[in-house]
Structure 1
């Protein structure tokens, strides 16, 4: 019996290639996701959420990720901003923003990356002085649709985060098209020209390590599960393909080399899923190791999606590079997931430190 999230994902599977081709998840689909209660479902019920556990949120993202990375990204970015507000907002900010985020009345964008500040977010040039925000952000997922941005800036040399209404004068949005992957995620570059700011989350100095740190941790967790879903979907499609195709009168599935590739892909898929499940269990227990295990799961799942998608494209042959190919689309999306917080080496350094601390 499929879950509600799984059933929803299946209901739109046939449309996902068209979203990718035309550059956006349609507004009516976004509204349907919100109406089904899939936005920030881990927020407490008193704020309009559903009190979902990390495992439930993870399975939602696995189901969505196995259909469309942009659909999963919608859940990711909304959850990132909601997690930051829940953890670091005051009572007024929680009451104002969380019900709007869980219901989809307000769609969120996470605005941290800049031209000179990608994996090194401490280098942001956006400033918040005298209550006015000035600067620009790049590659904001669902920035083209967002009603509110969680913005990382600097105030008096200290990192600070603010919630900024996208409808205010001085906010300008430039849609991004034609990027390698995530083409349906309504990505945009955003500028803030002397925009008044009323909602600052946490004191200056807490903006990066605390507020943004909370958002990024939530993002890594949901991206990890989404990548596990991508890897699983690529393997499923490839098994179907080789079982139905023949080469030289012999079914592809009978070739030893093909079976060996499928075996390697199965290992990647199972390992990614189990690392995600382990990270979810630690989060539910409140184990401090959950932060590092979430990073480990994201690293492994993104690599799994990339590896399995690459094998899948090759085994599909010409069909794998067709404009509407699921495995081809996931191959591009997986490449983006591997660099979304910087090159693999950035994560490897953190994981190396984790190993040295005796928790490999």
Structure 2
């Protein structure tokens, strides 16, 4: 008689996705999971409710010591990790809170990536080592008050004045802005769109925080104000010309969101499962009712499909084969499904679902921002629509 070698069913990994990960992948994931459990989870509900993250600079340094900042970049103190390992880190951080994952995404995938990809040797030497260590926090200034999905309409302008550049304009919804030591700012010039590395102590630069948010409250969000900010000629990113440069940075950041959204969804599913097993109504646990089991099954299916999609995209990125349209595919699907998982979890928790004693409402509200930033669902639908039809509907 043949021996049954099938492993037991694992509710936390029903498809056996862990079999597709290396020992190093799992070790990276476990390290960051432990860090998040010790340094974020005990405090994040209070941070969220208060709208403040005390000690954010210390958190950045700790993340730097873990190698989580700019972790797919090479040299300059960066870890040179795989895209899959970076994705697993994003998933574990967002399982704690989207705001913490946003800190890491903006630091590494936007600010550091822009300098690493488009900067001069001097810019890289000056900024990347301290950013990789978390000693210097960076931000990325592209979005403007009147130009979100259409960055080509930006009004921030940089003009030459002798050997210098002078920048004027405003940026909006900038993660890390008020705590950043350096900002990568994109502006129109007479030569087209250019990127600039702006030390935040430069006269004329300010970053007032944005208050009264209903989402991403455990995250620093700011406006950037540039009022005759004078920079030397070597502040411009020499290899960044045109909108393609900032858009390539955004694609890099979106990849992390594909993974991160699944972290928020996982936490909400885990919370709903634990609640359904113990909460009794009509004389039996909620999880014993067919409607509840149907919800839980659908949530698990979409969660683990999303993780498989993220892993597939990560493997393509590591092989140098990931296209921007494929990132749009992942961001569109995974954030949309993660939000639905969180909303369904809220229904299982009933009235308790709106309480910050549980993480569900916090994750659900955070994902409303994640759904919008780095490209709205509508924009990613149009990216895919153009790829499928060959017709551009962005301005139609």
TM-score bin (small chain): over 0.9
Q: Give the TM-score normalised by the residue count of structure 1.
A: 0.94
2:49 aligns with one of 3, 21, 31: 21
For the residue of structure 1 that corresponds to 2:178, the secondary structure is: coil
For the residue of structure 2 that corresponds to 1:42, the secondary structure is: coil
Instruction: Give the drift of 1:356.
Output: 4.1
2:366 aligns with one of 310, 333, 339: 333
Computing the radius of gyration from Cα coordinates, the structure with the larger value is: 2
Q: Map residues 108-257 of structure 1 onto 2, 5 A cutoff.
A: 108-130=138-160, 131-156=165-190, 158-198=192-232, 199-202=235-238, 206-210=241-245, 212-257=246-291
In 1, distance between residues paired with 2:266 and 2:389?
32
Instruction: Give the drift of 1:180.
Output: 2.2
Question: Does the aligned pair in 2 maintain the 1:160–1:203 contact within 8 Å?
Answer: no
In 1, distance between residues paired with 2:287 and 2:261?
25
In 2, distance between residues paired with 1:113 and 1:291?
19
For the residue of structure 1 that corresponds to 2:223, the secondary structure is: strand
For the residue of structure 1 that corresponds to 2:90, the secondary structure is: helix
Instruction: Give the drift of 1:342.
Output: 4.5
Question: Does the aligned pair in 2 maintain the 1:43–1:102 contact within 8 Å?
Answer: no
Instruction: Give the drift of 1:136.
Output: 0.7
Instruction: Give the drift of 1:113.
Output: 0.8
**Unpaired runs of 5+ in structure 2?**
1-26, 391-396
Question: Does the aligned pair in 2 maintain the 1:252–1:258 contact within 8 Å?
Answer: yes
Aligned partner of 2:393 in structure 1 is none
Instruction: Give the drift of 1:157.
Output: 6.1
For the residue of structure 1 that corresponds to 2:194, the secondary structure is: strand
Q: Give the TM-score normalised by the residue count of structure 2.
A: 0.86
1:75 aligns with one of 104, 110, 128: 104
Question: Does the aligned pair in 2 maintain the 1:292–1:354 contact within 8 Å?
Answer: yes
Instruction: Give the drift of 1:340.
Output: 1.1
1:54 aligns with one of 73, 77, 83: 83
CA-based RMSD of the aligned residues comes to 1.6
Runs of 4+ in 1 over 3 A off after TM superposition: none
For the residue of structure 2 that corresponds to 1:144, the secondary structure is: helix
Q: Deviations over 1:134-172 (max 9, x none)?
A: 111111001121111111110016111111011111111
**Unpaired runs of 5+ in structure 1?**
none
Q: Number of residue pairs matched?
A: 353
Question: Does the aligned pair in 1 maintain the 2:61–2:133 contact within 8 Å?
Answer: no
Q: Deviations over 1:317-352 (max 9, x none)?
A: 111101343000011011111111443221101112
For the residue of structure 1 that corresponds to 2:43, the secondary structure is: helix
Question: Does the aligned pair in 1 maintain the 2:174–2:221 contact within 8 Å?
Answer: yes
For the residue of structure 2 that corresponds to 1:307, the secondary structure is: helix
Aligned partner of 1:302 in structure 2 is 335
For the residue of structure 2 that corresponds to 1:113, the secondary structure is: coil
Q: Deviations over 1:68-100 (max 9, x none)?
A: 111101110011111111111122222222112
Q: Within the alignment, does 1:95 sit opposite 2:125 as a pair?
A: yes
